[in-house]
Amino acid sequence: MPMPQMPPAHPFDDDKLREECGIFGVVGVQDASNFVALGLHALQHRGQEAGGIVTHDPVEGFQSARRFGYVRDNFTSQDVMSTLPGPIGIGHVRYSTAGSKGQTAIRDVQPFFGEFAMGGAAIAHNGNITNANALRKELIERGSIFQSSSDSECIIHLMARSLQRNIPERMEDALRRVEGAFSVVAMTRTKLIGVRDPLGVRPLVLGKVGDGYALSSETCALDIIGAEFLREIEPGEMVVITEKGVESHFPFRRQPSKFCIFEHVYFSRPDSILGGRSVYETREAIGRELAKENPVEADLVCPVPDSGTPAAIGYSLQSGIPYAMGIIRNQYMGRTFIEPTEQIRNMGVRLKLNVNRALIQGKRVILVDDSVVRGTTSRKIKEMILDAGASEVHFRIASPPTAWPCFYGVDTPERDKLLAATMTEDEMAKHLAVDSLKFISLDGLYRAVGQDQGRNSACPQYCDACFSGEYPVVPTDMVERGFEMKPAAE
């Protein structure tokens, strides 16, 4: 029963993989909702479609607000924020991945809330449950009524049916039934709970703010509220936080960790810290590695704004070719050009980007982008650059060819829409009609993110399924729907 809410049109973003969620929670502060709103604002790049906040206050009980649109538009007015009192709260921003196809109902917007015999709990989930269909079917047969089409709702129904006597234990029960990738932030009346799946596919970090604590998908959201970054939650760890402190549990069977390598490439904000280093520096390092692997003579290194910028700087530093902003982004574009007239819609990329004609003219240009997904944008950008009079265009891509869909909480096109699934590097260069097109190698990427020995092909240090097709967790629901995995022998 989807509501007639149109997701904002992003003519440009269909050519990127999209992280689908950001999660945030805080306990032990005054007016937790303000902290959650700020945290979600800092995580907005992880989900622009909708957001929600739940808080608890001893007098008012649990309160929630869930809205379509940006945090800054929905969670900044006194009208809304005053309805969310109390010292504890969690929040969620989302893009749709699982759940209703195309359109999202407000019912699908997290956090989800459940009233149990021992009190209420709310949860916010980043990731994707790969056996959600089977779980849902089983729960419905036993009398559960689902209110959303979200895979995440399974967790709260599993918790409702658990025989455990307190909420953290019910959550352990529930999550042991769940397969796939998940980072979860949850809350009861007094406890803030954080969990990462045993592989640690999606990120989750812990911070200290005043006398209280915060959990966040990324450290940039700790910065915005003035919190100190303490540490990453470990794969398979559950933390239960009260105003008194942080308890740590490891309810799952231990496994080798498989953090999503694409967080380094594109999803995380450049000012966030991952693995002890700023994401910006990692991307600059990727650019250097890319320059080492794929040098070319040229006059200028230009980023495809904004996500190609750090790698372009790295490429320039390594190669000695001057860095320049050959493409200018219209800062008023944001991602919200809604309802363009047909004529404007056809202008496509020009609304967002303009080429610095006078700068580019007659130059050999290296364009650095973070990834190529469908290739539609790359093609348009190349045309803009050539129209502006560039003499040569060389594409350099700061990630390996994206040839496989992600089933762990990232919105990917179906496999046959991925340019790299159907073409070799040379075919792609021909298809895009550029003078050259080169991707960083998978080993090069591993080196740039800090694995000096490169990728351990026996047991890769990261989840790199989108590049390698090697899925660390079998995507059960998708396989049932007919998805063909790569033969193991390959």
Q: Which is nearer to a copy of itself, 146 or 483 (CB)?
A: 146
- How many positions of this chain bind a copy of itself (CB under 8 A)? 94
Enumerate residues 411-440 that contact a copy of itself by CB under 8 A.
Answer: none
**Is 336 among the residues that bind a copy of itself (CB under 8 A)?**
yes
Q: Which is nearer to a copy of itself, 136 or 202 (CB)?
A: 136
Enumerate residues 13-42 that contact a copy of itself by CB under 8 A.
Answer: 31, 34, 37-38, 41-42
Enumerate residues 452-481 that contact a copy of itself by CB under 8 A.
Answer: none
Q: Half-sphere exposure of 302 toward its Cβ, with a 13 Å CA cutoff?
A: 29
Query: Count of CB atoms within 10 A of residue 264's CB?
Result: 24
Distance between alpha carbon 276 and the CA centroid of its chain, in Å? 19
From residue 277, how far is each of 2, 171, 272, 282, 283 by CA, in Å? Answer: 42, 32, 8, 7, 10
Q: Which is nearer to a copy of itself, 76 or 436 (CB)?
A: 76
Q: How far is the CB of 226 from a copy of itself (least distance, A)?
A: 8
Q: Which of 59, 145, 458, 488 binds a copy of itself (CB under 8 A)?
A: 145
Q: Which of 156, 285, 300, 385 binds a copy of itself (CB under 8 A)?
A: 156
Cβ-contact 118, 150 below 8 angstroms: no
Angle between helices 376-387 and 425-432 (to 10 degrees): 50
Q: Which of 102, 276, 362, 482 binds a copy of itself (CB under 8 A)?
A: 276
3 DSSP assignment: -
One DSSP character per residue, 195-257 reads EE-TT--S--EEEEETTEEEEESSTHHHHHTTPEEEEEPPTT-EEEEETTEEEEE--S-----
Tell me if 463 is assigned to a ligand binding site.
yes
**Is 95 among the residues that bind a copy of itself (CB under 8 A)?**
no
**Is 214 among the residues that bind a copy of itself (CB under 8 A)?**
no
| Number of H-type helices and E-type strands within the chain | 18, 25
Cβ-contact 159, 142 below 8 angstroms: no
**Is 140 among the residues that bind a copy of itself (CB under 8 A)?**
yes
Q: Report residue 280: phi and psi, to 5°.
A: -55, -50
Q: Which of 176, 250, 344, 486 binds a copy of itself (CB under 8 A)?
A: 344
**Is 483 among the residues that bind a copy of itself (CB under 8 A)?**
no
Measured between alpha carbons, how far is 192 from 168 in angstroms, rounded to an integer?
A: 10
SS3 464: coil
Q: How far is the CB of 227 from a copy of itself (least distance, A)?
A: 12
**Is 341 among the residues that bind a copy of itself (CB under 8 A)?**
yes
Binding segment (CB under 8 A) for a copy of itself, from list 72-80, 294-302, 362-370, 466-474: 72-80
Is residue 21 annotated as part of the catalytic site, yes or no? yes
Which helix H or strand E contains 174, and what residues bound it?
helix 167-176
- Please enumerate, by residue number, every residue annotated as part of a binding site for [4Fe-4S] cluster: 260, 406, 463, 466
Kindly list the catalytic residues.
21
